Each structure stands twice: as C-alpha cells, then as structure tokens.
Amino acid sequence: MPKRYWLMKTEPNVFSFDDLQKLPNKTTAWDGVRNYKARSFLRDAMQVGDEVLFYHSRVEPMAIVGTARVTRTGYPDKTQFDKQSKYYDADSPPDKPRWFVVDVQYVSTFKRPVTLRELKERPEVDGMMLIKRGARLSVQPVSAEHFAFITKLGGKA
DNA sequence: GCCAACGTTGGC
DNA sequence: GCCAACGTTGGC
C-alpha cells in the first residue's frame, strides 16, 4: 500500500505540538475524535509510516507547525468507555466499539509555521480540504503534492 | 426515509 | 462572541 498523507487538527490549548514532543517516545494515541468520517480514516485507512501535517486551530495564527507519523494502526479509543472522560460514549458497544484512535509520533518542527492565511493565497494548494469553507474534519486526507509543497514552505529540514 | 430542530465546530 | 456550515437526532 502506498504511503498516504494526512492533516490532523488540534487546539493547542488542549493538546499542542509541544505537548506531543514532551511525551514518552513523543507519541500519543489520537483520542477523542467523534466524527464518523474521521473515524473511518483512523480505523480503516491510516497505515504505519503515513505522514501527518500537524495543525493548530482556534489560535492566532492558525497554522501547520510540523509533521508527525503514524506508528500504530487503528484500535479502539478507550476514552469512549471511561465514564470520567469527556469523550465517554454510553452508546458505544464494548464488543463493537464505535470510536478508534491511531498512534502518532512527532517527526519534525517546521522552521516557520505555515499559516492558514498564507495557504489560502497559494494556488498550489487549491482544493485542499483545510482551506475550504466549513472544512471541519479533524482528520483529513492530504495529497502527496500538497504535503510536499507545504513541508517545503515550512522549511522542513 | 424525510427533514426540521438542535448541537458543535472553528474561522472570523 | 458571533454565526455559517454541517453533522446528528428524533418525530412523523
């Protein structure tokens, strides 16, 4: 299977790219996704080695700040069964979980963040899901071309 | 299965 | 903080 590329959104107030780097192995389970389209990507499509653009939303400036990679394919999101968690889902059957995670590991920080504002002015990324109005998916596919262009803009080492 | 009401996301 | 977009829910 050819490598795929993704973009994952996070609010840095909740979980930031810095937070990811501070974790053991710089790796986390990408939990809390509660959207069926995103769930299907996590469960069915993402493969070990796939590369991820890491995007900070709802912050000034909104920007892609670096890259990560998938290190474990989809498995059930344990927060859906944790009554203390804000992601608890009483309707998710334990024998047939509704929500999934993948593990994501830090790869590299861009020399400069690539802002949403800037991307909107770049014809090279026309059609990219992130820059469409109402592009709310927190896990979205990215074309190899867009991935290459954005990492180049960011000055990835 | 339709669709209005409602809730959430996330850019502005 | 506002509100457009859009996903989900639930009455019929």
The answer to whether the beta carbon of residue A127 comes closer than 7 angstroms to any atom of strand C is no
Contact, A36 vs A84, CB < 8 A? Answer: no
Average pLDDT over chain A reads 93
**Tens digits of residue pLDDT in A50-63:** 999 999 999 999 99
Task: List the alpha helices (DSSP H) in chain A.
Answer: 17-22, 36-40, 116-120, 144-154
Confidence of residue A135 (pLDDT cuts 50, 70, 90): confident
A121: Cβ–Cβ under 8 A, 6 or more apart, which residues?
none
Q: Which string of b and e fits A109-136 if b means at least 16 CB within 10 Å?
A: bbeebbbbebbeeeeebeebebbeeeee
**Tens digits of residue pLDDT in A85-112:** 889 998 888 888 999 999 999 999 999 9
Contact, A17 vs A66, CB < 8 A? Answer: yes
The answer to whether the beta carbon of residue A132 comes closer than 7 angstroms to any atom of strand C is yes
CA gap A61, A113 in Å, rounded:
9
- Strand B, CB < 7 A, residues 1-60 of A: 9, 11, 34, 57-58
CA gap A53, A43 in Å, rounded:
18
CA A136 to C1' C9 (Å) is 20
- Give residue A30's pLDDT: 97
- Give residue A56's pLDDT: 96
CA A2 to C1' B10 (Å) is 32
Contact, A129 vs A86, CB < 8 A? Answer: no
pLDDT at A157 over 80: no
The answer to whether the beta carbon of residue A134 comes closer than 7 angstroms to any atom of strand C is yes
What is the average per-residue pLDDT within A130-146? 90
Cα angle A17, A149, A50 (rounded to 5 degrees) comes to 55
Token pair recorded at residue A130:
């992130």
